[in-house]
Every structure is written in C-alpha cells, then in structure tokens.
Amino acid sequence: MDVPKGFVKNGDAIDWWLPIQALFVPSIILAWRLDFPPSLYLAAFVLLWLVFRSNLRDRVPFYLTNRGTWLAVSEILPRHGAFKFVDLGCGWGGGLAVLAKQCKSGEFLGVESAPLPFLLGWLSFRRDANCRIRFGDFWNEDLGCYDVVYAFLSPAPMPRLWRKARNEMKPGSLFISNTFGVPDLPPNETLTLQDVRAAKLLVWRM
C-alpha cells in the first residue's frame, strides 16, 4: 500500500515536515526578540491541547477527510433500509453532516475526544434528527452496534483497532479506513480517489 506523504516507509526521508521543522529555530529566535508575555504561550498551549489532545495517547493528529472523499464514502453506504454509521474520531463532524444529507435512511454518530472539535460539532448538530456527536474515547465504543464503521486515524492505532473491529463487529458490516491499512490484511476493496492526495478508501466486509 502507498504510504501517505509525511509518513515513513522503510526508513525513507519524510518530505513535508522538514520545512516545518526548519522553521522551529527561527521562530524561537523571533518570539524571543518580540518578547511576548508568558500568558500568550499558556493560551497557545491550552488552545493546542483543546484541539490536539488525542495526539498524546493515540498518536492520531487532527486533520479532516475532504468533501470528495465523504461523497465517495456515501456511495458505499447501504442504498435501502435503516443503518447505523459511526465515525471513530469525528473531529467536528463535518463528514457526518455530508453523509446525513446524502443518505436519509442512515443514523450517523461521531465520537470525538478532543474538546474543541467536539464542542463545535455538538453545537452544530444539536437539532439534527439523524446526526449526533458524542464526547468520549472510541476505544470504549461497542462496534457491534453499527453497520458501517469509518476511521481516518494514523498507522499507530490500526492493529489494535482491527482486533477490536474483528471481535465486535457484526457479520456483513463494513469497516472503512481512509488511507491507513491493517498490517498483513489486504482490504476486500480499495477505492482510489482522483483528488490531489489520491486518497484511498480501504473497505473490509466483516
């Protein structure tokens, strides 16, 4: 499987975060020269923690599935009858809103552990009938309740998440991972999107 930009394969160099790292030292020097008040650093730290809290334990950063990919996900969803969908680590749930619009017969839930994205999602969904977002840890979610489980995480949690999915998910249900595979377990289907990232949807039928 292709490795997305920013991740290492067999020890290869990483491209996009080298320039980011190169900016660290000049930024420190600039900030020191500008003599910002310490409270500004504290505020920046708190803001980052509110958004990126989950990086610390699960090594899953905050970035979002793009709209084109959500539309491709909507094509995979059941065409007829009621079904339940969960986005594990849903950010502010923008994707759930796209899917809920496309598939009226579905019930869409997102679980998010970062406080700020959760709050934004909760505020925007509180009046929606078929879309909900819950604050919490997706490791505590019973995946047996869902017909479709979607994850866009990072390589780090995938082996553990697959073990959880295999133990809990119902026969015939779908496990969809955006980009990140399960070691040594090819998906039943791979959809490659024609976008700049050439994002891949990996689909396993349980």
């490659």: which residue's tokens? 192
Question: To the nearest whole angstrom, how small is the minimum distance from the Cβ of residue 177 to ligand SAM?
Answer: 10
Q: Does 60 bind ligand SAM (CB under 6 A)?
A: yes
What contacts 205, CB < 8 A, 6 or more positions away? 172, 173, 174, 188
User: What's the CA gap between 106 and 77, in Å, rounded?
Assistant: 9
Q: Does 121 bind ligand SAM (CB under 6 A)?
A: no
Q: Does 87 bind ligand SAM (CB under 6 A)?
A: yes
176 neighbors 202 (Cβ within 8 angstroms): yes
Q: Does 76 bind ligand SAM (CB under 6 A)?
A: no
Q: Does 137 bind ligand SAM (CB under 6 A)?
A: yes
Nearest residue by C-beta to ligand SAM?
89
Question: To the nearest whole angstrom, how small is the minimum distance from the Cβ of residue 98 to ligand SAM?
Answer: 10
Q: Does 114 bind ligand SAM (CB under 6 A)?
A: yes
Q: Does 147 bind ligand SAM (CB under 6 A)?
A: no
Indicate the residue among 153 and 182 with the shorter CB distance to ligand SAM: 153
Which of 143, 153, 170, 165 has its CA nearest to residue 113? 153
What contacts 99, CB < 8 A, 6 or more positions away? 70, 73, 74, 77, 85, 106, 108
Q: Which residue ranges make up the site for ligand SAM (CB under 6 A)?
A: 54, 58, 60, 62-65, 87, 89-91, 95, 111-114, 117, 137-139, 152-153
